[in-house]
């Protein structure tokens, strides 16, 4: 017998028959929930309900609750919760069963969604943690790089280009700029730095990467490419180059031992709301889809869910940092895109990168490198790092400027108060003891509202470029300081002051 309640519960009981449990479960599945269920599934359930019961025990046995997933006749699946009590007769045979079953598919779905949200929150917290770490080291590291790059540029200006010393110094400069880009990538990963946003063809970047890759990977790895998209995306082509190179290099590593096929495809797609609902983070619209697939050893589910975690790596100690895919994840997100990974152990791995397409037209700019600008104005240069102050004095001095250096914001403020018309420009570090760069700027504006100020920063959580410009600061330079960047910024600020009537 069974009674169906309006709430969706089913109360069932059985008092006779050669196998009452089997008959009851068949009734529950087939009559109420319309499930097709194999006899083996039902007998397994009977075994669970009767396990751990002492032989010979009579009367009502301890009730048990089970959650099972079963297939519907229409192809879908449902979750059922069954709570049943068994009764044995004096001969210990099952004589009756009384129980309740209900459809808990919605409840299970909500639980699964909650677990998914918890995982996403944990992932976000991990990203925030590495972001905090990245911001903490960026300031000091960029100061060090400022000295390495800056002094190298100064010495290069004094050495003939056809000498061995010049070539060696160029290598130092190249290494310094690589380190500079590395810091920027870490900040990008943690979403604490902005990149230059311009439209570009991903197709050209893919072809460049594959050309470089063919010369560096084993001949046992075949490259199969299908690059069909001519669309533009908005972003930094150098960073997207890094994304593609990282994914392809990882794929090659996975096939290094036995060879295989590296498949790279680029196509356009119009994503609808149904697709986006199954791919969190995407919104309906036009996208470029970059797919990188290998036929390597694949990944287990446990490894797959950690691949974008900071410092997670499956490579041997000393051969990987665990930052590659974390940085890839950060770069893709900073381009308003999403990346998804698919893999099974022994079946290879596939990454799909979605980047929104730029639909409006752009006219490319032709950039021609001009001579480094010079000047003769007097500049107050402040940084708490003496090595940076000395470098700045030499660098600007070599361009013709009269530089007055200070390593303390308070001392610089006192000097400015004593001679308010002495300086044409102030350049200050942001993060300094006693008086920070933004606080110094506010005090200087109180004394002389028209004084142009440039802020230099390795990294500061206090103020970014947008916030700095909103306070009246004329320009914001990110360390490490490059000679051309500094020269062009200084000249632009001083010339603007002259045009607006702030100088002679």
Map out the domains of the chain as residue ranges: 2-103, 117-189, 198-358, 378-499
At residue 68, φ and ψ (nearest 5 deg) are: -130, 150
Element holding 132 (H helix, E strand) = helix 105-156
Architecture of the domain delimited by 378-499: 3-Layer(aba) Sandwich (3.40)
Task: Please report the pLDDT score of residue 44 as a whole number.
Answer: 56
Domain 2-103 has CATH 3.30.450: yes
Instruction: List the pLDDT tens digit at each of the 504 positions of the chain.
Output: 444 444 444 445 554 455 555 555 555 555 444 454 444 445 555 665 666 554 445 555 677 777 777 777 666 777 878 777 777 777 777 666 677 777 788 888 788 778 777 776 776 676 667 666 666 677 778 889 999 999 999 999 999 999 999 999 998 998 888 788 777 766 655 555 555 678 999 999 999 889 888 877 888 999 999 998 999 999 988 789 889 998 999 899 889 888 999 999 999 999 999 899 888 889 999 999 999 999 998 888 888 887 887 656 665 544 444 457 888 888 898 899 999 999 888 889 999 999 999 876 655 555 566 899 999 999 999 999 999 999 999 999 999 999 999 999 999 999 999 999 999 999 999 989 999 999 999 999 999 999 999 999 887 656 677 888 888 899 999 888 899 999 999 999 999 988 876 654
Task: Please report the pLDDT score of residue 226 as a whole number.
Answer: 94
Which residue matches tokens 């459809």? 103
Task: Please report the pLDDT score of residue 7 as a whole number.
Answer: 45
Q: Is 84:98 a contact under the CB 8 Å cutoff?
A: yes
DSSP state of 420: T
Going by C-beta distance under 8 Å and a sequence separation of 6 or more, which residues neighbour residue 333?
191
CATH class of 198-358: alpha beta
Instruction: Return the structure tokens found at 205.
Output: 């970047």
How many angstroms separate the CA atoms of 358 and 273, rounded? 19
Architecture of the domain delimited by 117-189: Orthogonal Bundle (1.10)
Q: Is 462:435 a contact under the CB 8 Å cutoff?
A: no
Q: What's this model's pTM, rounded to 2 decimal places?
A: 0.53
CB atoms within 10 A of CB 147: 18
Instruction: Return the structure tokens found at 267.
Output: 């196509």
Task: Please report the pLDDT score of residue 123 as a whole number.
Answer: 66
Q: Is 276:365 a contact under the CB 8 Å cutoff?
A: no
Task: Please report the pLDDT score of residue 373 as a whole number.
Answer: 95
Task: Please report the pLDDT score of residue 190 as a whole number.
Answer: 54
């Amino acid at each position: 017998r069974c009674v169906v309640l309006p709430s969706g519960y089913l109360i069932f009981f059985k008092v006779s028959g050669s196998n009452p449990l089997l008959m009851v479960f068949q009734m529950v599945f087939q009559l109420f929930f319309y499930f097709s269920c194999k006899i083996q599934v039902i007998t397994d359930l009977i075994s669970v309900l009767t396990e751990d019961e002492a032989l010979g025990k009579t009367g009502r046995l301890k009730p048990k609750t089970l959650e099972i997933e079963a297939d519907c006749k229409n192809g879908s699946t449902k979750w059922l919760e069954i709570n049943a009590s068994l009764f044995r007769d004096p001969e210990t045979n099952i004589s009756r069963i009384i129980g309740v079953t209900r459809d808990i598919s919605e409840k299970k779905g909500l639980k699964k969604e909650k677990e998914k949200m918890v995982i996403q929150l944990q992932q976000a917290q991990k990203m925030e943690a590495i972001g905090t770490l990245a911001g903490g080291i960026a300031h000091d590291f960029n100061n060090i790089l400022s000295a390495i790059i800056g002094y190298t540029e100064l010495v290069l200006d004094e050495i003939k280009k056809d000498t061995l010393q010049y070539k060696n110094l160029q290598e130092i400069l190249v290494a310094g700029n690589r380190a500079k880009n590395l810091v920027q990538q870490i900040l990008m990963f943690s979403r604490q730095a902005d990149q230059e946003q311009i439209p570009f063809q991903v197709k050209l970047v893919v072809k460049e990467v594959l050309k470089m890759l063919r010369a560096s990977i084993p001949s046992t790895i075949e490259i199969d490419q299908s690059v069909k998209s001519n669309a533009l995306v908005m972003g930094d082509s150098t960073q997207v180059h890094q994304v593609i190179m990282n994914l392809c290099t990882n794929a090659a590593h996975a096939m290094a031992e036995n060879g295989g096929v590296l498949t790279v495809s680029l196509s356009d797609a119009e994503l609808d709301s149904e697709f986006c609902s199954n791919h969190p983070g995407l919104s309906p619209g036009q996208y470029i889809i970059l797919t990188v697939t290998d036929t390597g050893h694949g990944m287990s589910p446990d490894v797959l869910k950690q691949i974008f975690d900071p410092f997670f790596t499956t490579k041997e100690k000393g051969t990987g940092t665990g930052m590659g895919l974390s940085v890839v994840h950060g770069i893709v997100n900073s381009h308003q895109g999403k990346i998804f990974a698919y893999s099974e152990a022994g079946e290879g791995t596939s990454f799909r990168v979605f980047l929104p397409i730029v639909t409006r037209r752009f006219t490319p700019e032709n950039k021609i490198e001009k001579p480094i600008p010079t000047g003769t104005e007097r500049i107050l240069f402040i940084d708490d790092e003496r090595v940076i102050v000395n470098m700045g004095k030499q660098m600007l001095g070599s361009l013709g400027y009269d530089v007055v250096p200070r390593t303390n914001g308070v001392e610089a403020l006192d000097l400015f108060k004593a001679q308010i018309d002495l300086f044409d420009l102030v350049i200050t570090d942001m993060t300094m003891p006693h008086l920070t760069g933004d606080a110094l700027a506010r005090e200087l504006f109180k004394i002389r509202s028209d004084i142009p100020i440039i802020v230099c920063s390795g990294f500061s959580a206090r103020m970014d470029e947008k916030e700095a410009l909103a306070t009246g600061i004329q320009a914001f330079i990110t360390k490490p300081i490059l000679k051309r960047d500094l020269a062009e910024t200084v000249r632009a600020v001083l010339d603007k002051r002259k045009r607006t009537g702030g100088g002679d």
